[in-house]
Amino acid sequence: MDKKYMAMGTSMLLLKLLEQQDMYGYQIIRELEKRSNHIFSLKEGTLYPLLHSLEQQGAVACQLRLAESGRQRKYYLITDQGRKLLRDKLDEWDVFQTAVNQVIGGALFG
């Protein structure tokens, strides 16, 4: 998969995962891989700058929580502002996807 396509929607995908449940970094990476049948695979060096950017935008917050192992983990959770950003990104994606389908003939219009 061309990395340019991945970059276009990565923050949308991260926000969508966090909308469904709070997660720590490694969990986000694994869940994204699992749900995409390994099409989307992020390295930690890619994920954490994205999360920090979303945090600076006020779209995500983080909390330290005690893991079952007894170690503290940094969990990321979506904020109200993040939910709005996600809705906006989903709307943009819908417009983009519709336009692409119209050009390549994948959408049926009456």
pLDDT at 107: 52
- What's the pTM value of the predicted model, to 2 decimals? 0.84
Measuring CA to CA, which residue among 82, 6, 86, 88 is closest to residue 47? 6
**pLDDT of 12 strictly over 90:** yes
For residue 91, pLDDT beyond 60? yes
Determine contact, residues 81/90, Cβ cutoff 8 Å.
Answer: no
Q: What is the pLDDT of residues 30-67, one digit of tens each?
A: 999 999 999 888 899 999 999 999 999 999 999 999 98
Output the six-digit token pair for 54: 């979303």
pLDDT (average), residues 65-83 = 94
Average the pLDDT over 79-104 and give the result: 92
In the chain the beta strands, taken as DSSP E runs, fall at 23-24, 60-66, 72-78
Mean pLDDT calculated for residue range 97-109: 78
